[in-house]
Chain A
């Protein structure tokens, strides 16, 4: 068959059954991305004869004799297509994984179609941006600012990988051609709880192309947790790589390695497994009951299925409630949701000629994965190299080691390179989720609204394994409880094993769940007392003079490096009153309401967190920066360059950067818990400062002056009238044996706090349950903005994710623990049409703890979204929607007139 792809004509025979996407990628056209393989996400969009289509939905043979254009063929030579340029100008991407498909779709729109974007972009999903920057690109908005030496900090500078992202040349985890590559697939459990009696490998091994089958009998019998933290003891070691007991539908049963993915899959289908089905429990309250089936017999049986229990009380809530004029008490529940980073989990492992093992992975914590692999396989650390390339989103989902272990196992057994890439279905049934939590809140207050007691009880469903269980629970009892000043507070929480897919880290990390409960409860209390929600919050919210205290009287390392909650409240109140909004839709039955919610989040985790950086002056006068933290769309490579450039008086583009590589960068705990700026950024700043000192001291030494007499500029050191170019200095210094190198580490302590306030005005249709967001206002106190464009991007993305959690996303299980909607077409993350523009405002603060005045901001913005929507619905209808999500059936159920 004859093909023409991006102007290259050739003959080829696609495999029987092959789709155009895999045909293109097999040829090395890695710009074409896989997001779902079902025509739902649009990441694989290419043009066939000029019309955009999903390449995953077209058999490859149908592209014969047609003209196929991928993102890699869109530019004419060096001249970018105008849409590619617009994406760069607006920086219409974060992780960039959806960009190829998004650009191909947008570049084919005519004027009429551009006028109706909600409809015409419905086939392209983005999980990072909240679509705001994409809309900017289509409108021709330029969001980037100039890169001026010495002024990098505070400028909206572009992602250094942007040109690669918009042209399809950026390389993500799976975008690699490896000679002799084998493919791994796993058979997943069909039962929620079962003992594996036997696995017959023979039928699988008989499948042509199948190389090996691994079961629980083939793996190191070492317990570990897939969750990645610096201190592995915070997560229970309750997991085997492959186990003889399955505890949720979707757990790994066996791994099959084949010459192709198809062979490995066929091998999985051919395996014969005999199960002894065990009683299963899905509800954490039932799992806590004495007669419940116990999931784990690993030393903690005495506690049944309660893996962790956390309690604390300050003051006396008994006295607090006794003093109260009014008491509000209610239970609020949040739902289990998935991260849906568009790049699925996956890794590739191979051995180099020197015998070292290399693992290229899509991870937020490659250094911890490195440690865990050493633990599991008994490696000497120096023999193992773990690294990332571009990572297509994380949101906490990649704070897990889910694929690396089996790839390494297969590599050790077979000696050939191994790749394992999750399917979209596996993301839903075999990765992690947000912990479902049920929170009982009891508030006592004086008639004037002054809180006299706050009590919460949180039950967290951690699913079959306990990774992140205790930390998310602790987070749920921590900053949301610190956000209000009250003499009497009490919290208790339980992390409970059930036969569900495991919970994990997810943007907002436990605090999202309890913030939903507490912020809804505050509005319920406001209504009870007849006090305006702003007033009630202002009367009780923590102030800069307060001692930060959740439910424990012990001292913590959390301090106010800055405080801007009061500004955030004022900004949102003002904007709700005066800012732009859409009118209530025409027609009857619409009820309008407004709601607010606030959130406080510690900048970084209470667990240990450290990060290192190395910087070097290069012979051409530029700099090289190596930093351990992962870039997954969060923008850290951009902000790290800005921090370094600002210290060195350079331009950001003068700093080459490599990140998240255990060979090439110093240790970093991982990019999670909003540490990219406050820990890794701190390390970068300390390192840049040390390198500046190194350079200036050297100049002082060779000129017999003082370091303070000199200053660094873009390409030279300058002192009075003297000017020595960095090129000259480098040559001179290295010739004399000097090294222009610096390395520093940062450790997270103390921790500052960030604040976010969300305002929502909405209209709800009493008859159809439709919800229209009329106005969205968000104020953030995140200290100094290292890159304002990126800060807005993180907030827009958080808001979109919060809207999904509140309105459309939900993992829907049957009563045997099978997920019913393991696909993007019925899991429903927000599309372009679902996300309104948000007016984003910033408090004017400068943090004394974070680097160059900055605070953490990757997560906190999601926390007030869902409660603000519930509060607006409450305002509109008088009905409290206390369980996420607020789907039309639930609205309908509550709003229908009762006969």
Chain B
């Protein structure tokens, strides 16, 4: 199918992009375009105007400011694997990146685009939750920071108001006492996850967990944390009994939708398996 014949504007500043979007009435922003272009081709979306964010300077680059890593929204998936600052300060992203689509997509797709779309089956949005990231959002009132916990609201619904732009992701840098892990279970190798999860925690010297955040994807309309599991892990040292205990909490935390080929019972089962594997991974230092 052919996309609607949209017009196109390339903005160099956030304000210009915002204005162009507002003026059009029926516009879409394009970042990497790897989800948008197929949606346009299938006419799931058919905007009149595409506002290209590619030249907006504030959305480029990865910088460290104190304990906070600022990752420009236009940073490509492929850069999660090559950018030294990400490897050092936000290693969970580097760990998740090979699971995201495939190289040709990763060469174009952007972190900001993925988090703005908030596909519940995507890896990176869930990692924002696990890393306790803040979203830098540009809108009518200028720029604001929204914590990941308040950002994901419902299926493809985020704190982004119409016309607002996800400028950058602010990720707390990991220190020597952090541990993290990522994994997903797929039908076919490299496929969308049936269930996936990432976790990141601060550990005491003796191996006890000070606090931990665990985020699942492909289990609900949004990426979700399993807070009762996190609470149960706080102050504890990971062992087989603790893993079994928190696996038992999953059923009450997650409520996957009915799916003919992936019954909720199986999804929950896989989530328990995955949780066990991830906790096993971080039971010794990363």
Interface residues of chain A, those whose CB is within 8 Å of chain B, are 15-17, 19, 37-39, 42, 45, 51-54, 56-59, 61-62, 105, 113, 118-120, 122-123, 261-262, 265, 423, 425, 767-768, 770, 807-808, 812, 825-826, 828, 830-831, 833-834, 887-889, 892-893, 896
- Residue of B33, B50, B188, B262 touching A830 (CB-CB under 8 A): B188
With A and B bound together, what is the CA distance between A122 and B190 in angstroms? Answer: 7
A57 touches B105 (CB 8 A): yes
Contact across chains for B2 and A262 when beta carbons are under 8 A apart = yes
The answer to whether B40 has its CB under 8 Å from any CB of chain A is yes
**What are the residues of chain B within 8 A of A423 when measuring CB–CB?**
1
B34: Cβ under 8 A from any A Cβ: yes
Report the bound CA distance from A833 to B186 in whole Å.
12
Whether B266 and A889, one on each chain, are in contact in the complex, defined by CB atoms closer than 8 angstroms, is yes
B260 and A812 within 8 A (CB): yes
Q: Which of B30, B54, B104, B107 has the most CB of A within 10 A?
A: B104
B6 located at the interface, meaning its Cβ lies under 8 Å from any Cβ of chain A in the complex? yes
Stretch at the interface among B60-68, B95-103, B136-144, B228-236: B95-103
Q: Is the CB of B188 within 8 A of A57?
A: no
Look across to chain A and name the residue whose beta carbon is closest to the beta carbon of B270: A768
* Residue of A262, A887, A893 touching B187 (CB-CB under 8 A): A887
Pair B190/A831 contact, Cβ less than 8 Å: yes
Q: Which residues of B contact A (CB under 8 A)?
A: 1-8, 30, 33-34, 37-38, 40-42, 50, 52, 54, 78, 98, 101-105, 107-108, 185, 187-192, 194, 260-263, 266, 269-270, 273
On whether the beta carbons of A58 and B273 are closer than 8 Å, the reply is: no
Contact between chains at A261 and B187 (CB < 8 Å): no
Given known A-B contacts A45-B104, A53-B108, A887-B187, A17 and B2 have beta carbons under 8 A apart: yes
CB distance from A123 to the nearest CB of B (A): 3
Which one, A62, A120, A889, A896, contacts B52 given CB within 8 A?
A62
Q: Which residues of B contact A122 (CB under 8 A)?
A: 102-103, 189-190
Contacts of A887 on B, CB cut-off 8 Å? Answer: 187, 261
Show 25 residue pairs from A and B whose CB-CB distance is below 8 angstroms, ordered by the A residue: A16-B7, A17-B4, A17-B6, A37-B38, A39-B37, A39-B101, A52-B104, A52-B107, A53-B107, A53-B108, A54-B108, A56-B37, A57-B33, A57-B38, A59-B50, A61-B8, A118-B189, A120-B102, A122-B102, A123-B103, A423-B1, A768-B185, A812-B261, A889-B261, A892-B266
- What chain A residues lie within 8 Å of B194 (beta carbons)? 888
The CA-CA distance from A19 to B98 in the complex, in Å, is 26
Of all chain B residues, which has the CB nearest A262?
B2
Complex Cα gap A505–B266 (Å): 36
A504 vs chain B, min Cβ distance (A) = 24
Query: Which chain A positions have C-beta within 8 A of B54?
Result: 62
CB closest chain-B residue, reference A808? B188
A808 to B188, alpha carbons, bound, how many Å? 7
Q: Within the complex, which residue of B30, B34, B101, B107 is in contact with A51, where a contact is CB–CB below 8 Å?
A: B107
CB-defined contacts of A58 to chain B, threshold 8 Å: 33, 37, 108
Q: Which of B52, B190, B263 has most A Cβ within 10 Å?
A: B190
Answer whether A16 and B6 are a contact pair too, CB < 8 Å, given A120-B103, A123-B101, A423-B1.
yes
Given the interface pairs A42-B104, A45-B104, A887-B261, the reply to whether A16 lies near B8 with Cβ below 8 Å is: yes
Distance to closest chain A CB from B264 (angstroms)? 11
Please state if B2 and A62 are interface contacts (CB–CB under 8 Å): no
With beta carbons under 8 angstroms apart, the residue of B104, B188, B263 that contacts A54 is B104
Closest 4 CB pairs of A and B: A123-B102, A833-B189, A122-B190, A16-B5
Q: Cβ of A53 and Cβ of B104 under 8 Å apart? A: yes
Q: In the complex, are the beta carbons of A833 and B190 less than 8 A apart? A: yes
Chain A residues within an 8 Å CB radius of B42: 38
Instruction: Please determine whether A19 and B41 come into contact, CB atoms closer than 8 angstroms.
Output: yes
Closest to A828 in B: B188
B104 touches A892 (CB 8 A): no
CB neighbours (8 Å) of A826 from chain B are 192
Interchain CA distance A19-B4 in the complex, whole Å:
11
Q: Which residues of B contact A833 (CB under 8 A)?
A: 188-190
B107 proximity list for chain A (CB < 8 A): 51-53
The reply to whether B34 and A834 contact each other, CB–CB distance below 8 Å, is no
Given contacts A39-B34, A61-B8, 20 further A-B contacts (CB under 8 A): A16-B5, A16-B7, A19-B37, A38-B38, A42-B104, A51-B78, A56-B41, A58-B33, A59-B8, A59-B30, A59-B50, A105-B103, A119-B98, A768-B185, A807-B188, A831-B190, A887-B187, A889-B263, A889-B266, A892-B269
Contacting residues, chain A, for B270 (C-beta < 8 A): 768
- Least CB distance from B286 to A in Å reads 20
The CA-CA distance from A15 to B7 in the complex, in Å, is 9
Q: Tell me, in angstroms, the Cα distance from A19 to B263 when the chains sit together.
A: 38
Kindly list chain A residues whose C-beta atoms are within 8 Å of the C-beta of B7.
Answer: 16
Residue of A nearest to B34 (CB): A57
Q: Assess A59 versus B37: contact at CB under 8 Å? Given A15-B5, A17-B5.
A: yes
CB nearest to A830 among chain B residues: B188
- Minimum CB–CB distance from B47 to chain A (whole Å) comes to 10
- Provided the pairs A16-B7, A105-B103, A887-B187 are in contact, do residues A39 and B38 lie with their beta carbons within 8 angstroms? yes
Report yes or no: B4 in contact with A118, Cβ–Cβ below 8 A: no
Which of chain A's residues has its CB closest to B260's CB?
A812
Please report the C-alpha to C-alpha distance between residue A58 and residue B38 in the assembled complex, in whole angstroms. 10
- Residues from chain B with a CB closer than 8 A to the CB of A42 are 102, 104
- Contact A59 to B189, CB < 8 A, known contacts A52-B107, A53-B107, A889-B262: no
Provide the residues of chain B in CB contact with A62, threshold 8 Å.
33, 52, 54
Tell me the complex Cα distance, A58–B52, Å. 12
A767–B268 alpha-carbon span in the complex (Å) = 12
Give chain A residues whose Cβ lies under 8 Å from the Cβ of B261.
812, 887, 889
Give Cα A557–Cα B269 distance, bound, in whole angstroms.
Answer: 55
Task: Pick from A58, A887, A888 the residue with the most CB of B within 10 Å.
Answer: A888
Cα of A394 to Cα of B5 in the assembled complex, Å: 34
* Nearest opposing residue in chain A for B7, CB measure: A16
Q: Are B105 and A123 in contact (CB under 8 A)?
A: yes
Closest-CB distance, A266 to chain B (whole angstroms) = 8
Give the CA-CA distance A613 to B118 in the complex, in Å. Answer: 60
Residue from the set A17, A54, A808 with the largest chain B CB neighbour count within 10 Å: A17
| A807 / chain B contacts, CB cutoff of 8 Å | 188
B78: chain A residues at CB < 8 Å are 51
How far is B38's CA from A265's CA once the two chains are assembled, in angstroms?
16
Whether the Cβ atoms of B40 and A265 lie closer than 8 Å is: no
Q: Which residues of A contact B52 (CB under 8 A)?
A: 62
List of B residues within 8 angstroms of A830 by Cβ: 188
Distance between Cα atoms of A265 and B3 in the complex (Å): 10
Q: Which residue of A lies closest to B37 (CB)?
A: A57
Q: Are B104 and A17 in contact, with the CB atoms below 8 A?
A: no
Q: A833 — nearest CB in chain B belongs to which residue?
A: B189
- Give the residue name and chain of the B residue nearest to A118 (CB): B189
